[in-house]
Amino acid sequence: MELFGLADCNNFYCSCERVFHPDLIGKPIVVLSNNDGCVIARSEESKELGIKMGDVFYQVKEKLEQNGVAVFSSNYNLYGDMSRRVMSLLSRYSPKIDVYSIDEAFLNLSGMGTSAQLTEYCKKMVKHIKKGTGIPISLGIAPTKTLAKMASKFAKKYKGYEGVCLIDTDEKREKALKLFDVADVWGIGHRSVDKLNYYGIKTAWDLTQKSASWIKREMSVTGVRTWKELRGESCISIDELPHKQSICTSRSFAEQGLNKLADVEEAVANFAAQCSRKLREQHTVCQSITIFAHTSRFREDLPQNYIYRTIQLQVPTNNLQEIVSMAVKALRNDWKEGDSYFYKKAGVIVWGISRDNAIQTNLFDTIDREKQAALAKAIDEINRKNGHNKIRVAVQGNEKGWQLKREYISKQYTTNLNDVIVLKAK
């Protein structure tokens, strides 16, 4: 029987902070979004206090202080490096690993002995990851990726599983499906939940009891695949999962905003670089780039302006230099001279995304794509080894003019030599 494992880091952002603040183990923690706007991650203790995902920080700040909740600004350099360490250790336990997100990965666990042997093997894996990185993980194992995702949630919820839940029989599958809310099934979108509930489908088991003809008539292609996977038929490949149709990186600026071209230009260059990196990570390219910047609509005492421009590329790309260059050029073309406009938010969107192995080239293209790809690969490798953005396009600058508001940021313990923990022997 083919078996897939889904390794899921528990409360990943909060767990990363606890690795370097062990005194916070068992205590409530929240992590905030960019500019410390709202809550984007919560420890189990914070959830029990009623702190919700997306709560606006200033509205719950007093409640957090009253309950002694530790607050952290998002530290993506730290989280990204900790993720890399977890994935590196996981790769030792399976001949094939597919990283699905910053805190999740699918492993092929087929042919690794009996149920008992596999369970013990995976418990050893969970303990090794915890000991090696400090990050607790939950591991779900099943004949399909959708069931493995479900099993990982059971492993996380019930301590009796010791971090590992195996669904390898029809009896176990049926029991799990009956206990699982259909709204929590991987592949079931929010828009589908109300419709399914209308037809009396409350649990994953209810969904599997519908006929194939009903599923094909009432659900999307993804829904049909999900239905098959819940019934034990593996039909979803990581490579076949739909990639994002667009990627947007944007930020709101602190105080009243930015009013100098150099500052906004630097911010846009960094946003474009992040979009480029995300494209390469999911092995895709983009056909169009949009840049935007606007003043605050709430500041009626200040002049209002909105910059919005889209560029169509002759050849789809994910190249750092090309995307940054195009984004900055678009901003410069629409920039109005003078210090009267204070831009509160800016961003970059890449559109028309497709796989990087099926690019429609252009006969009159003047760029040496092979040389460009080799350079990009070298830059990514250097940055991976030495820290995020160690090599960057000059226009990205040093972020001093538009730094995010991050009053509660922790140190970059694993990627910055100045932040490495120093121990003194007495």
Q: Tens digits of per-residue pLDDT, 367-406? A: 777 788 788 788 878 877 776 677 788 888 876 656 666 7
Q: Return residue ranges of the chain for CATH 3.30.1490.100.
A: 247-396
183 and 207 Cβ atoms separated by less than 8 Å: no
Give residue 152's pLDDT band: very low, low, confident or very high (50, 70, 90).
very high
156 and 8 Cβ atoms separated by less than 8 Å: yes
Give residue 192's pLDDT band: very low, low, confident or very high (50, 70, 90).
confident
| Sign (positive or negative) of CA dihedral 157, 15, 137, 96 | positive
Average pLDDT, the chain: 87
Smallest Cα–Cα separation from 330: which of 287, 299, 283, 289? 289
Look at 130 and 300; give whichever has higher pLDDT. Answer: 130
Distances (CA, A) of 285 to 101, 117, 275: 18, 43, 10
Amino acid present at 75: N
Residue 149 CA to residue 124 CA, distance in Å, equals 20
pTM for the predicted model, two decimal places: 0.73
Residue 45 CA to residue 25 CA, distance in Å, equals 10
Average of pLDDT values for 122-139?
A: 96
Architecture of domain 247-396: 2-Layer Sandwich (3.30)
Give residue 424's pLDDT band: very low, low, confident or very high (50, 70, 90).
confident
Distances (CA, A) of 291 to 34, 312, 324, 339: 19, 12, 11, 20
Domain 169-242 fold is: DNA polymerase; domain 1 (1.10.150)
Residue 426 CA to residue 424 CA, distance in Å, equals 6
Give residue 268's pLDDT band: very low, low, confident or very high (50, 70, 90).
very high
Give residue 34's pLDDT band: very low, low, confident or very high (50, 70, 90).
confident
Which bin fits 372, alpha (ψ -120 to 50), beta or left (φ > 0)?
A: alpha
Q: Which residues of 72-106 are buried (b: 16+ CB within 10 A; e: fewer)?
A: bbbbebbbbbbbeebbebbeebbeebbbbebbbbb
Q: Return residue ranges of the chain for CATH 3.30.70.270.
A: 1-167
Domain 1-167 fold is: Alpha-Beta Plaits (3.30.70)
Tell me what pLDDT residue 402 has: 61
Place of tokens 């030495």: 386
Q: Return residue ranges of the chain for CATH 1.10.150.20.
A: 169-242
Is residue 259 pLDDT above 90, yes or no? no
Q: Which of 28-37, 194-203, 334-343 has the highest mean pLDDT?
A: 194-203
Look at 367 and 331; give whichever has higher pLDDT. Answer: 331
Residue 7 CA to residue 107 CA, distance in Å, equals 8
Is residue 215 pLDDT above 80, yes or no? yes
